[in-house]
Structure 1
Amino acid sequence: MTSRSAVISWGSGEDGQLGIGNNEEKEWVCAIKSLHSSSVASLVAGSRNSLAISHDGKLFTWGWNQRGTLGHPPETKTESVPSQVKALSNVKIVQAAIGGWHCLAVDDQGRAYAWGGNEYGQCGEEPEQKEDTGSLVRRDIVIPKRCVPKLSVRQVAAGGTHSVILTREGHVWTWGQPWPPGDIKQISTPVRVQGLESVRLIAVGAFHNLALLDNGVLMSWGNNEYGQLGTGDTQPRSLPVPVQGLSDLNLVDIAAGGWHSAALTDEGEVFCWGRGEHGRLGFGDDKSSKMVAQKVQLLDREDIVQISCGGTHSVARTKDGRIFSFGRGDHGRLGYGRKVTTGHPYEVPIDIPPPTDLDSTEAEGRWCSKLVASGGRHTLAILEWRIDQI
């Protein structure tokens, strides 16, 4: 099998989040040519910006920059070409997350970093400046700074105005404003989430959280007005509770969007729950919200290996490298070449030129996705040129 890579994007580009050098929106997939695609290991799509991590641990950001979310001095409101975060050039970043307008990252030593908007303490910084009125205010963090320095971090996740981390010991800690402003007092000091032990993976939506335990149980907590916690009701939870509808399943991946959630089994089955508006749950013409996890029957014949939830759409990746999207379709976020809104998953056509140095045998290959990342109104993916061996 021969492998060559490409990084693609589609959807809204008004803040430069597609990384293609302009602010145009794209209804079809397009290549991010300024990224050295062969070196990109991971991608994250946020509400209005994007980031990439290279195999050697370099971090690149692009998109909306008014709150310092790109991790370097905000000389412009938006940046449409990926640029390296110089402040983290001396460490090897292995994973990162984008929240509403702040970012988190973790290096190979388990050290976490935060930057961007900090008005709710989501970057973990205490108030620094005293106004004439005597009140304390929090400054935005435009250059990445260490956060949770006493913890050894395995994974970071970011919500609308809060942050969550998973430690190497399997514990979960959080800080910031976990629910919509006014519901709970914001905190800068991380607190450990009680009731969670031996956590394998976390996922964070706008104002809700998921944690997959080593024993296969999926827990949720946070805001729940559309049933995104999967508890069978719409009551918020300040402490983790089990998600209903997933018993006796071996879960391998989880995802949380704006107001919906998803889980993936080891047999390639997708389960969704939460807000159903625009068809983001993938249940066809049934666009009602679901308060308990339900199987996405329309993807039942596909061997799904990754699920990603955006603000109002979802994307699934198959084992053989195809991409399916569903949900809200304006601004081209579904990649179908038309502004359709649908609860029926359709395959995203990957129509970009093949690598230029293929021999006659390699020319029979095709682009296959290795990773997908859904944002607020755009999507990113890593591709490889694959030749299926007989």
Structure 2
Amino acid sequence: MASNTSAIIAWGSGEDGQLGIGNNEEREWVCAIKALDSQSVRSVVAGSRNSLAICHDGKLFTWGWNQRGTLGHPPETKTENIPSQVKALASVKIVQAAIGGWHCLAVDDQGRAYAWGGNEYGQCGEEPERKDDSGRLLRRDIMIPQRCAPKFVVRQVAAGGTHSVVLTRDGHVWTWGQPWPPGDIKQISVPVRVLGLENVRLIAVGAFHNLALQEDGTLLAWGNNEYGQLGTGDTQPRSHPVVVHGLSGLTLVDIAAGGWHSTALTDDGEVYGWGRGEHGRLGFGDNDKSSKMVPQRVHLLAGEDIVQVSCGGTHSVALTRDGRMFSFGRGDHGRLGYGRKVTTGQPMEVPINIPPPQNVSEGAAEGSWIAKLVACGGRHTLAIVEWKTNESKQ
């Protein structure tokens, strides 16, 4: 994919610079992140107040809120509204990354994991505090990315509000930090294996809940469950993985976790949602904003052939095979991307109205942008789009 026919777009809240467009204004329509035009971006991640992009050559760019070192370099200012490269990782090839509440994780092509940002619960894999010479405790944010979970060959990293989860290449899942809201459980900065999981293919982590999809198609969940986000039919938290109800007989190909809600995607493009339903973030229509204790099919997306769902804090976006995006959930700050700040559980298409690439030939100027990947954050969304000429659509 040549970088000259793709673009990175953003919309929603910009108050922390998380849109990467050079100012801190919000956008209720999509806009292009021009600073990334010269890069060939393979994936984007949106956090609660931050964003990152990973390039095909392994370079990592970050932008947004930086008070805790979340951008991977010491904060000169609290927020940065233009993407900048994480220099400390320039010598390795980053292939995947995650943003938690205020910490980040990344993994390189060798399976080495890195962490940086807020560390008060040990979520960066480092003892959260140390004493200075006078015996006072110092909180230790990690400003510069450093290795974490060094004993493991990592396939995927995922970050929660105050904890971290990694999937290793042998299909096991390990976690550290504080997996529950403060006070419930002692934080730990050393990885602990999550028992009861084998041959895991994919993990997804919300604020305080976790999902793991095994190779045999079984979906398991653990963690907090106050809105039914574990899909167990109740609101009891689980410290060990349990099977998510109501998905047997389905072939699951992808999972996603928002702050307090969850989704699963089947091989025939159907979406199932569960957990917190407030603001319509599950996509069950305007009248039904209640939480769901077990997965239910999102009928309003039926027949759209969905290939990816991303869940944010209070909104979600579904991506179709032909490159259209449907957003639903909380509408303020423009986070639904179609010019109306109305909160709705009704999925609506996000128009990609940005100019065509500058260097397209005369014949290729007739075309449209199609989305390839979407990433929802706390109050903003990022996506990778590609220019398709009308001839190439035939």
Q: Same fold (TM over 0.5)?
A: yes
Residues 1:385 and 2:380 are matched in the alignment: no
Aligned partners of 1:60, 1:155: CA distance in 2, in Å?
18
Q: Quote how far apart the aligned CAs of 1:336 are.
A: 1.2
- 1:327-382 Cα deviation digits (max 9, x unpaired): 00000000010111000000001111111233343223210001000000000000
Aligned to 2:359: 357
Aligned to 2:375: 373
Aligned to 1:81: 82
Query: What is the DSSP-based 3-state SS (H/G/I as helix, E as strand, rest coil) of the residue aligned with 1:278?
Result: helix
Aligned to 1:313: 315
CA contact (8 A) 1:49 1:62 kept: yes
Query: What is the DSSP-based 3-state SS (H/G/I as helix, E as strand, rest coil) of the residue aligned with 1:34?
Result: helix
CA contact (8 A) 1:121 1:138 kept: no
Residues 1:99 and 2:104 are matched in the alignment: no
Query: What is the DSSP-based 3-state SS (H/G/I as helix, E as strand, rest coil) of the residue aligned with 1:298?
Result: helix
Q: Quote how far apart the aligned CAs of 1:126 are.
A: 1.4
Q: Work out which of the residue numbers 288, 292, 297 in structure 2 matches 1:295.
A: 297
Residue type of the alignment partner of 1:389: K
Runs (5+) with no aligned partner, structure 2: none
Residue type of the alignment partner of 2:380: H
Alignment length, in residue pairs? 390
Q: CA RMSD in A?
A: 1.5
TM-score (norm 1): 0.98
Residue type of the alignment partner of 1:58: K
Q: Quote how far apart the aligned CAs of 1:38 are.
A: 5.1
Q: Quote how far apart the aligned CAs of 1:267 are.
A: 0.3
CA contact (8 A) 1:125 1:138 kept: no
Going from structure 1 to structure 2, the CA distance change for 1:184 and 1:339 (only over 3 Å counts) comes to same
Counterpart mapping for 1:104-143 below 5 A: 104-130=105-131, 134=135, 136-143=137-144
TM-score (norm 2): 0.97
Aligned partners of 1:77, 1:167: CA distance in 2, in Å?
34
CA contact (8 A) 1:199 1:214 kept: yes
CA contact (8 A) 2:222 2:238 kept: yes
Counterpart mapping for 1:11-90 below 5 A: 11-36=12-37, 39-90=40-91
Q: Quote how far apart the aligned CAs of 1:135 are.
A: 6.4
Runs (5+) with no aligned partner, structure 1: none
Residue type of the alignment partner of 2:365: A
Query: What is the DSSP-based 3-state SS (H/G/I as helix, E as strand, rest coil) of the residue aligned with 2:36?
Result: coil
- 1:241-283 Cα deviation digits (max 9, x unpaired): 0111111111111000010000101100000000000000000
Aligned partners of 1:378, 1:191: CA distance in 2, in Å?
32
* Same amino acid, percent of matched pairs: 81
Aligned to 1:230: 231
CA contact (8 A) 1:369 1:381 kept: yes
Residue type of the alignment partner of 1:350: I
Residues 1:175 and 2:176 are matched in the alignment: yes
CA contact (8 A) 1:5 1:38 kept: no
Residue type of the alignment partner of 1:292: V
